[in-house]
Chain A
Amino acid sequence: MSESVGISENKGAVISINSSLEDSVKDLLKKSMEKGIFDAVLIPMKVPAGDSFVYVLIKDKSLLNNAFPIPPIMSVQGAKAISSVTRLGKGNLKIAAVMRPCEIRATVELTKLNQTNLENITLISMDCPGVMPISDFISEPDKAMKLFDNAIKTWDDKIMRPVCQMCDKSSMVASDLHIGTLGSKKDTFFVISNSQNGKDMLDNLGIKLKEDIDTWRAKVKDNNEEKMKKRKKTHMDLKTQIGSLDNLIDMFSQCINCHNCMRVCPICYCRLCYFDSDKVKQKSEDYLQMAKSKGSIRFLPDTTLFQIGRMMHMSLSCVSCGSCEDACPMSIPVAQIFSMIADETQEIFDYVAGRSQEEPLPLKTYNEDELHEVEDAHD
């Protein structure tokens, strides 16, 4: 899955940075609103207490002054934010959504799952350095902010979520427009379009796509390859840790079934999860019978079953964002495990979650001639 995805244009634009990268990006957004290209912008802002960043749908462009295009944390997965705006249908407002690449990929998956409508939405991504685990930020916000600012300068990912540290899709994948900071000359950044929608936005802003973006392309390729090496190694280590059923059960033994992972996951959109439904609720005599046959049962049982079940349901659309691991109160490396399984399940179908809106979900696609290797032998 390390092939470059989604890069269709050969040329881009080079924008000069006046005060800061964030300010320059916000200027572009402000201009777009002034010209009526967008009516609203979905972008993170700092909360009043200063200890978190959350998505805000901004109509009054002066609020953009306080926006943070690249915050140090991911409090709510952006795909969930955008789904809450358009799940019940597109609105009349033209919206620009500035999100992390994995949030955009999750948005693409949710669109295919009919949980988001992208008709009046322009997706804007940027080269992503990763996000910090939310608990690292919450405890000392000011200190964490400084660490993050330094990390962006050097592209040093040690302070980021474990899955961010091995993310080979941290650049442009499925957005309409992309802010490219990798490989750009000092005090400049690239603006790259990835769709007609993106191109139209730049046309309306009077930004011409005539600059070479090879240095960006090369730096992104290097970065992805380095991350891919780390990804393969981490996944291999994990595989030996959870290779057998006993080991898998042991890994999840600390799980307290709070289901936080499921609820923060952008792909888990079911209003009532199967594992919360009546189907899993049994009579006392059934539980007692289970206890008798095994000597004892954990109560409530089926901890590992929940994890495997969730994997089965969402693995083909997992974008390895890591929100699940941030939310786990027992520090189980659930994102690392799920991302490893997701890579393998998606590979079976030659599918990359969020790569393309046109690519149908493997679960909904029937091919008569496939996966013969898992069929039963007839003789």
Chain B
Amino acid sequence: MTKALKLSIKPEQGILEFLRFLLENGKVKGVFTLNKINKNGAVAYSLISNSDELNNAVPFFPIMPANAGKLLSRFTLKGGATEPVAAVVKPCELRAFIELVKREQGKLENILFISLTCGGVYPLSKAVYENVEKYLSEYWDVVKKGEISVDLRSACKGCTEFSPYNADITFDLLGNNDLDKNCIVFLNTKKGEEFAKGMNAKFLEKELDNKKLDKILDKRKIEKKKIFDELETKMNGMDGLIEIFGKCIGCHGCSKVCPICYCKLCGFDSSDFEYRSSNYEAEFRKRGGIRVPPRTLFYHLGRLDHISISCIGCGSCEDICPVDIPISVIFKKIGESVQKMFDYIPGKNIEEDIPLITFKEEEFAEVEQ
């Protein structure tokens, strides 16, 4: 049995009341959450110190303008948080932050992690070309039923890690049919219990409804298989990869928004990877023409090589791609295969080392010569 809160209001209000409680009672000095930033409904993560500013906060808004895990890494890169801060993040964003902490790109201390059982986010284009506000009632209706919204990021549609790991506090939203009137908030850790003490709500002991979550998991698994199978038809060896990545313009936006890609200067942007005229002249001994700038596909294969072990499948890469390459599906699919080989779920267990830095003498005998 876990300690929990029951708030007798809908979750979008409930979270605001909880954050207000934390700020006004001095339990935290800052709240890190999504904020409305203009009249067109655009949202951005903000660090809020004054509880009045919470009036514009929309913590559960179904848009991810940047992966919060990457932002929390920036917040704690030059030293951990010196005062308590509550961060409202989606499960994949929290997993991303854990993976970054393992890489010494962030620190966990003084952050109260508040997450939710997640119904996914819409692609950024929905915020650009339409008004996401118009979709909110439909979105919450689908979350209530534990189903999958049709317009979500493909990464979200097939997401099987919608229940957060490592959150101190979890708003259990998915599949609750009284979601417009109540929300159940699990206090997973002692820290979560401490921070929630004094909150004006009904305190109870509850168990996470695994049957309900399993039903939702099944739906997500079916959707994931559909999405992966569709990609499989295009993954036709080298030719298939060239077809998929041919229109890549080398903007490297995918790397820039990826939480796991933290390198200050990517190898592919460094002088190590620069061609000089002699390289081109050497290539011409083998073939009649070469695309310039070169190494379009190599960049993606290299990035897969480096990050697939920790890809948490948030889908930020696909949103940013100016030419609509299904990058997140490719990276998620290959990422999961790689992770399966090591029985590793990125971001699940802070104690578990990244397989890349773990040496076992007895493994993968099947790939040895």
Tell me if A288 and B251 are in contact (CB < 8 A).
no
Which residue of A62, A85, A259 has the most chain B CB atoms within 10 A of its CB atom?
A: A85
B125 closest partner in A (C-beta): A329
Judge whether B324 is part of the interface by a CB distance below 8 angstroms: yes
Contacts of B280 on A, CB cut-off 8 Å? 57, 85, 91, 93
Contact of A49 among B246, B249, B291 (CB under 8 A): B246
Tell me if A84 and B292 are in contact (CB < 8 A).
yes
Tell me if A92 and B292 are in contact (CB < 8 A).
no
Tell me if A52 and B323 are in contact (CB < 8 A).
yes
Contact of A284 among B46, B76, B124, B292 (CB under 8 A): B76
Whether A56 contacts B246 in the complex (CB less than 8 A), given A91-B277, A256-B66, A296-B53, comes out as: no
Q: Mark A45-88, 1 if CB is under 8 A from B, else 0.
A: 10111011011111110110000000000011000111011111
Tell me if A55 and B292 are in contact (CB < 8 A).
yes
Q: Mark B31-48, 1 if CB is under 8 A from A, else 0.
A: 010010110101011111
Judge whether B116 is part of the interface by a CB distance below 8 angstroms: no
Contact-residue size bin, chain B (C-beta under 8 Å from the other chain): 35 or more
> Within the assembled complex, what's the spacing in Å between the Cα atoms of A82 and B79?
42
Judge whether B210 is part of the interface by a CB distance below 8 angstroms: no
**B229 CB to nearest chain A CB (Å):** 20
Contacts of A57 on B, CB cut-off 8 Å? 280, 289-292
Contacts of B211 on A, CB cut-off 8 Å? none
Judge whether B326 is part of the interface by a CB distance below 8 angstroms: no
Tell me if A260 and B253 are in contact (CB < 8 A).
yes
Restricting to B203-262, which residues have a CB under 8 Å from any CB of A?
239, 242-244, 246-247, 249-253, 256-257
Judge whether A218 is part of the interface by a CB distance below 8 angstroms: no
Tell me if B288 and A90 are in contact (CB < 8 A).
no
Contacts of A93 on B, CB cut-off 8 Å? 277, 280-281
Tell me if B124 and A295 are in contact (CB < 8 A).
no
Contacts of B44 on A, CB cut-off 8 Å? 253, 256, 298-299
> Within the assembled complex, what's the spacing in Å between the Cα atoms of A283 and B128?
32
Tell me if A138 and B256 are in contact (CB < 8 A).
no
> Within the assembled complex, what's the spacing in Å between the Cα atoms of A55 and B249?
11
A328 closest partner in B (C-beta): B322
Tell me if A91 and B278 are in contact (CB < 8 A).
yes
Tell me if B247 and A254 are in contact (CB < 8 A).
no
Whether A253 contacts B257 in the complex (CB less than 8 A), given A86-B277, A89-B277, A283-B79, comes out as: no
**A279 CB to nearest chain B CB (Å):** 12
Contact of B319 among A81, A250, A297, A329 (CB under 8 A): A329
**B51 CB to nearest chain A CB (Å):** 9
Contact of A85 among B77, B124, B292 (CB under 8 A): B292
Tell me if B277 and A92 are in contact (CB < 8 A).
yes
Tell me if A48 and B246 are in contact (CB < 8 A).
yes
Contacts of A357 on B, CB cut-off 8 Å? none
Judge whether B284 is part of the interface by a CB distance below 8 angstroms: yes
Tell me if B239 and A59 are in contact (CB < 8 A).
no
**A51 CB to nearest chain B CB (Å):** 5
Tell me if A48 and B42 are in contact (CB < 8 A).
no
Tell me if A254 and B40 are in contact (CB < 8 A).
yes
Q: Mark B290-301, 1 if CB is under 8 A from A, else 0.
A: 111110100000
Judge whether A330 is part of the interface by a CB distance below 8 angstroms: yes
Judge whether B74 is part of the interface by a CB distance below 8 angstroms: yes
Contact of B322 among A45, A54, A55, A135 (CB under 8 A): A135
Contacts of A330 on B, CB cut-off 8 Å? 42, 124, 127-128
At the interface with chain A, which of B1-9, B152-160, B267-275, B327-335? Answer: B267-275
> Within the assembled complex, what's the spacing in Å between the Cα atoms of A93 and B306?
36
Judge whether B202 is part of the interface by a CB distance below 8 angstroms: no
**B342 CB to nearest chain A CB (Å):** 31
Tell me if A329 and B128 are in contact (CB < 8 A).
yes
Contact of B82 among A47, A59, A284 (CB under 8 A): A284
Whether A253 contacts B42 in the complex (CB less than 8 A), given A48-B239, A91-B278, comes out as: yes
Contact of B288 among A63, A82, A88, A299 (CB under 8 A): A63
Which residue of B265, B289, B319 has the most chain A CB atoms within 10 A of its CB atom?
A: B289
Contact of B247 among A49, A276, A277, A296 (CB under 8 A): A49
Contacts of A331 on B, CB cut-off 8 Å? 128-129
**B16 CB to nearest chain A CB (Å):** 14
Contacts of A208 on B, CB cut-off 8 Å? none
Tell me if B323 and A254 are in contact (CB < 8 A).
no
Contacts of A51 on B, CB cut-off 8 Å? 246-247
A59 closest partner in B (C-beta): B284
Tell me if A271 and B269 are in contact (CB < 8 A).
yes
Whether A284 contacts B79 in the complex (CB less than 8 A), given A91-B278, A260-B253, comes out as: yes
Judge whether B104 is part of the interface by a CB distance below 8 angstroms: no
Judge whether B52 is part of the interface by a CB distance below 8 angstroms: yes
Judge whether A5 is part of the interface by a CB distance below 8 angstroms: no
> Within the assembled complex, what's the spacing in Å between the Cα atoms of A355 and B346?
53
> Within the assembled complex, what's the spacing in Å between the Cα atoms of A151 and B45?
43
Contact of A296 among B35, B82, B129 (CB under 8 A): B35
Judge whether B58 is part of the interface by a CB distance below 8 angstroms: no
Q: Mark B110-145, 1 if CB is under 8 A from A, else 0.
A: 000000000000001101110000000000000000
Tell me if B253 and A292 are in contact (CB < 8 A).
no
**B259 CB to nearest chain A CB (Å):** 13
> Within the assembled complex, what's the spacing in Å between the Cα atoms of A59 and B280?
10
Contacts of B355 on A, CB cut-off 8 Å? none
Judge whether B312 is part of the interface by a CB distance below 8 angstroms: no
Tell me if B50 and A296 are in contact (CB < 8 A).
yes
Contacts of A258 on B, CB cut-off 8 Å? 253, 256-257, 320
Judge whether A326 is part of the interface by a CB distance below 8 angstroms: yes
A327 closest partner in B (C-beta): B322
Given contacts A254-B42, A329-B128, 14 further A-B contacts (CB under 8 A): A42-B292, A57-B292, A76-B249, A91-B280, A92-B281, A253-B37, A260-B251, A263-B253, A283-B79, A283-B82, A284-B82, A288-B81, A295-B49, A296-B47
**Interchain residue pairs with CB less than 8 A apart (16):** A47-B242, A49-B246, A56-B289, A60-B287, A63-B289, A253-B42, A256-B44, A263-B252, A271-B270, A283-B82, A284-B82, A292-B29, A296-B48, A298-B37, A299-B45, A299-B46
The 7 lowest CB-CB distance pairs between A and B, nearest first, are: A91-B277, A60-B288, A47-B246, A52-B247, A295-B50, A84-B293, A296-B53
